[in-house]
Amino acid sequence: MRNRRTAEGDVFIATFNEKNRTVSDDHLTMIFAAVGERHGYKDVGAEFAALEDFKVRWQRSYNWIRFTVSDYLDRAPDDVLASLAEVLFTKIEGGDRDYDECFVKYITSPELTKTNRKDFLKRKRDLSKESIGTYHDLNDCVNRLRDEGLIPDDMNCELRWQDGGGYKASGCSVLQRVVWVNNVLDQKGVPEHVLDYSVYAMMCHLIAGFGNRDEFEYRRLLSFYPMKRDAEDWLESEGLYI
């Protein structure tokens, strides 16, 4: 590993991969170990991995623990990673702790979303590369939702069709701001209001935002859709659910 030094003498950690990673596994372990020591763990390890979703996995015994962290965080500042570690160790102990403001601000920043979304779309292999299907264009759904005042004019997200979505009519990634619709709905005769509702239901998650644990807020937004009951009844008749 080589470091790059500027004329002013500042040292930047060398990049580790094609995404301009700036945090090594050793440095990640150092941060998690410092937090883990306060929680009674003497042997802590951590590494990044190219996970599809923005998540963390762990294995542990009495006094050791190993974390696998999504590489969507491999350029995060130390305070963001330390905040994540504190939340994880607290949850492992059976407690509850909200993410610090620095963590939420970082992972919801448009810059990080733009950087990570490309990788997310590559990794989620059941998504198409276009919003235009055989019979329907998901952008038409968005335009109708905007015209009805249900979503903001500046609502920004990627739209995709999903192959093999099972019983789920639609899905989304809040952090990557991607919405997908089961391609079972890309058929002739599917009502526009059903397609629109399938998209809108996921956009309600995006509007509510990351870390919003108030289910009432999501349901409140969902209730604004004028043909909600009709759309849900149609989906249920086809064995699909939101």
**229 in any annotated domain:** yes
91 and 147 assigned to the same domain: no
- Select the more confidently predicted residue: 139 or 20: 139
pLDDT of amino acid 212: 61
- State both tokens at 187: 């058929």
**129 in any annotated domain:** yes
**117 in any annotated domain:** no
- C-alpha closest to that of 220 among 207, 232, 233: 207
Q: What is the mean pLDDT of the segment spanning 34-40?
A: 95
- Select the more confidently predicted residue: 18 or 144: 144
| Domain boundary residue, one of 107, 138, 169 | 107
CATH code of the domain in which 188 resides? 3.30.2010.10
215 and 151 assigned to the same domain: yes
pLDDT, tens only, 173-191: 999 999 999 999 999 999 9
48 and 138 assigned to the same domain: no
Q: How many CB atoms lie within 10 A of CB 239?
A: 10
pLDDT of amino acid 13: 36
pLDDT, tens only, 3-20: 333 333 333 333 344 456
**115 in any annotated domain:** no
Q: Which pLDDT band holds residue 27 (cuts at 50, 70, 90)?
A: very high
pTM of the prediction?
0.86
- C-alpha closest to that of 171 among 162, 180, 158, 163: 180
**211 in any annotated domain:** yes
| Domain boundary residue, one of 107, 141, 169 | 107
Work out how many domains the chain is built from and give that number. 2
**77 in any annotated domain:** yes
129 and 226 assigned to the same domain: yes
pLDDT of amino acid 68: 98
**214 in any annotated domain:** yes
Q: What is the chain's Cα-based Rg? A: 21
Q: How many CB atoms lie within 10 A of CB 196?
A: 22
**Would the pLDDT of 91 be above 70?**
yes
| Domain boundary residue, one of 107, 132, 156 | 107
188 and 153 assigned to the same domain: yes
Strand order in 158-162's β-sheet? 158-162, 178-182, 170-173
Share of the chain above pLDDT 90, in %: 82
Q: What is the mean pLDDT of the segment spanning 115-128?
A: 95
Domain residues for 21? 4-107
84 and 166 assigned to the same domain: no
**Would the pLDDT of 242 be above 60?**
yes
- Select the more confidently predicted residue: 36 or 15: 36
Q: What is the mean pLDDT of the segment spanning 26-32?
A: 97
pLDDT, tens only, 206-218: 999 887 666 788 9
178 and 229 assigned to the same domain: yes
